């Protein structure tokens, strides 16, 4: 068994802790998740993994989905960022890459083809990525409600910083500020178990989006929380935490147990052959 990839980096080290997602910013109280779920205490594990190569994250998700299906791990969410990467969904819409793949690689980008839904998208530093590994049957959700929940989490976090975001309209996917896209969604659901997830632009280099047709939607801009917010933003790790907390509330988890990469090292393992 190999150790964590040497290129994993921490966004902001934290200790393992249990956080209740029932308190809103400013000290107010919302209806508790336990109350909403009939009194049952439900814990969502949040694994904070720092910067993770896309291929490593993909293999980890595949392993965790199998473990979740077998009951070896609970519902959890991976919270991370990727190095510069372009990904395509299962529709294989290569025509939405506006540069040859060799040119994209020359820019320092990796390219991956996946089995998630959605079109081509970009991942990179200062973009928050959440990959929930959930049993939708256990939390009583269908695919549509699940995707709506991912949208809701990003909209709620944007609102914390005074940004009015909305779900995509007809022909649009993800989350938007006016006609500018701030968050992308691409999921895979197999036998009621989820992987892949959402990408929320905190302050990535938006120039990389010019080399693709983001999510297959032409003539639309991409934006970021930094560009839209009129207030100073906290460290990225705080926004990651806000997304996780919002996700937990949306899906009626009563607690979030946060683990950093060192605490997951006995669970996460990769073959040395996958290291670059």
Q: What is the pLDDT of residues 20-39, one digit of tens each?
A: 454 444 444 444 444 444 55
What mean pLDDT comes out for the span 128-155?
A: 96
CB 59 within 8 A of CB 270: yes
Residue 165 has pLDDT above 90, yes or no: yes
Report residue 215 CA to chain centroid gap. 15
Alpha helices in the chain (DSSP H): 33-36, 54-69, 101-106, 136-139, 143-160, 225-228, 236-250
Q: Which residue has the higher pLDDT, 94 or 84?
A: 84
**3-state secondary structure at position 214:** helix
Among candidate residues 215, 252, 264, 269, the one labeled active-site is: 215
Other CB atoms within 10 Å distance of the CB of residue 26: 6
For 61, list phi and psi in degrees, rounded to 5: -60, -45
* Straight-line distance from the first to the last Cα atom of the chain, in angstroms, rounded to the nearest whole number: 17
Angle at 184 between CA 244 and CA 162, to 5 degrees: 65
pTM score: 0.81
Average pLDDT over the chain, rounded to whole?
A: 81
Task: Give the residue among 272, 241, 195 at the shortest CA–CA distance from 21.
Answer: 241
pLDDT for 220: 78
* Domains contained in the chain, CATH given: 43-269 (3.30.930.10)
Q: Which residue has the higher pLDDT, 269 or 146?
A: 146
Cross-strand pairs, 111: 86
pLDDT bin (cut points 50, 70, 90) of residue 271 is: very low
Q: Is residue 264 among the annotated active site residues? A: no
Element (DSSP H or E) covering residue 55: helix 54-69
**Tokens found for residue 266:** 């006995």
């Amino acid at each position: 068994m190999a150790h964590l990839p040497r290129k994993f980096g921490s966004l902001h080290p934290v200790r393992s802790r249990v956080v209740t997602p029932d308190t809103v910013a400013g000290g107010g109280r919302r209806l508790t998740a336990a109350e909403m779920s009939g009194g049952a205490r439900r814990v969502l594990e949040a694994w904070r993994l720092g910067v993770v190569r896309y291929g490593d994250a993909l293999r980890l998700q595949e392993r965790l989905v199998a473990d979740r299906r077998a009951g070896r791990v609970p519902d959890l969410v991976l919270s991370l960022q990727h190095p510069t990467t372009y990904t395509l969904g299962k529709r294989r819409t290569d025509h939405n890459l506006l540069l040859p793949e060799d040119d994209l690689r020359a820019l320092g980008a990796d390219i991956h083809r996946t089995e998630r839904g959605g079109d081509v998208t970009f991942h990179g530093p200062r973009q928050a990525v959440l990959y929930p590994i959930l049993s939708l049957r256990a939390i009583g959700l269908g695919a549509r409600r699940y995707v709506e929940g991912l949208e809701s989490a990003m909209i709620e976090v944007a609102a914390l910083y005074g940004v009015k975001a909305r779900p995509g309209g007809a022909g649009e996917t993800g989350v938007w500020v006016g006609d500018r896209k701030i968050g992308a969604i691409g999921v895979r659901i197999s036998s009621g178990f989820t992987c892949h997830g959402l990408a929320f632009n905190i302050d990535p280099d938006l120039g990389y989006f010019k080399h693709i047709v983001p999510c297959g939607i032409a003539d639309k801009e991409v934006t970021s929380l930094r560009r839209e917010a009129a207030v100073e933003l906290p460290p990225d790790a705080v926004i990651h935490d806000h997304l996780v907390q919002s996700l937990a509330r949306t899906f009626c988890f009563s607690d979030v147990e946060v683990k950093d990469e060192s605490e997951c090292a006995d669970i996460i393992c990769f073959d040395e052959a996958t290291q670059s």
